[in-house]
Structure 1
Amino acid sequence: MPLINAHPKCKLMKCFAALGPYLRESQCQKDYFFFDCLAICVDIKLAPEKRQFWGWWLELRPEDKCFIYTYQFGLYTQDEQWMVKKIKAADIQQKLETTFIDFYERLNEMLASIDCELRLESNINVLPNMTRLLVSQ
């Protein structure tokens, strides 16, 4: 079943998986794709099953001839849930922005290679340091 520009979901999933460890296939649906990054462990001394991570997540939906995305930065809890949480440490914020921008640029290039555009959902707030992501849109 083609989703966008005659590209079937299975082809898109293969392309998204090639971007790295960001795609969460188990959370993707027919017309919804979920990506995330566990960038920084909050406390490495804890047992693995109790660790929490600072990171980001991105949700992607096809619409007409483009993909609309939203993103958030926050905390991945030991219950394997994302929680929007303000990041106070500048070095953590910088690391998250760097990993997000790197992923975003690769995602944008991949979608352009199959003649699809990437657009930020219009009703979300953009973090001040992230405005350069919108330059090409």
Structure 2
Amino acid sequence: MSDLIKSPTHYRLLSSLRSIGPYLREPQCVDGSYLFDCLSVCVNDKKSPEKREFWGWWLELQKQGTCYQALYRTGLYDTTGDWLDEELPKNVVGDVNRTQEEFHNKLVETMKSEFDIQIELHEESVEFV
């Protein structure tokens, strides 16, 4: 019977993933590969907006057979719009982990309830719970 279940289309997945929150980087997504990120904590909010950097996380969600693997990373979002894989300062770890865990729970729930798709953490994913 599982052979009869069709995978959702890329556009149907995008629509559902977009509803989880403002984290989806849609222009960088292709069928079977989706990018998310979250700017959790501003490094220095006294700087002008275009010069601000943020501590946070990003996620590469890749289709692997009938499930998706989630590879989370944490670090610094710099002024050029790039993520740098840097260790989080102790004072921001709690906020970054909270936003990451909340997002992950919504992602797992949405993919399961709407498409019956499982999310597995990649073996190299950072731990956040």
TM-score w.r.t. length of structure 1: 0.85
- Residue 30 of structure 1: CA displacement? 2.3
Q: 1:1-137 maps to which residues of 2 (within 5 A)? A: 5-89=6-90, 91-113=91-113, 114-122=115-123, 124=124, 126-127=126-127, 130=129
Given that 2:28 and 2:34 are in contact with CA atoms closer than 8 Å, whether structure 1 keeps it comes out as yes
Question: Which stretch shows the higher mean deviation, 62-71 or 101-110?
Answer: 62-71
Which whole-Å CA distance do the structure 1 matches of 2:14 and 2:51 have between them?
30
Which whole-Å CA distance do the structure 2 matches of 1:19 and 1:59 have between them?
15
- Tell me the secondary structure at the aligned position of residue 38 of structure 1: strand
Which whole-Å CA distance do the structure 2 matches of 1:116 and 1:105 have between them?
14
Given that 2:73 and 2:125 are in contact with CA atoms closer than 8 Å, whether structure 1 keeps it comes out as no
Where structure 2 has 5 or more consecutive residues not aligned to the other structure, the ranges are none
Give % identity: 35
How many residue pairs get aligned? The number is 124
Which whole-Å CA distance do the structure 2 matches of 1:126 and 1:19 have between them?
21
Which whole-Å CA distance do the structure 2 matches of 1:109 and 1:66 have between them?
13
Cα pair distance change 1:87/1:62, threshold 3 Å: same
Which whole-Å CA distance do the structure 2 matches of 1:125 and 1:82 have between them?
15
Given that 1:5 and 1:65 are in contact with CA atoms closer than 8 Å, whether structure 2 keeps it comes out as no
Ranges of 4+ aligned residues in structure 1 off by more than 4 Å: none
Letter in 1 for 2:15: K
Where structure 1 has 5 or more consecutive residues not aligned to the other structure, the ranges are 131-137
- Tell me the secondary structure at the aligned position of residue 73 of structure 1: strand
Given that 1:31 and 1:62 are in contact with CA atoms closer than 8 Å, whether structure 2 keeps it comes out as yes
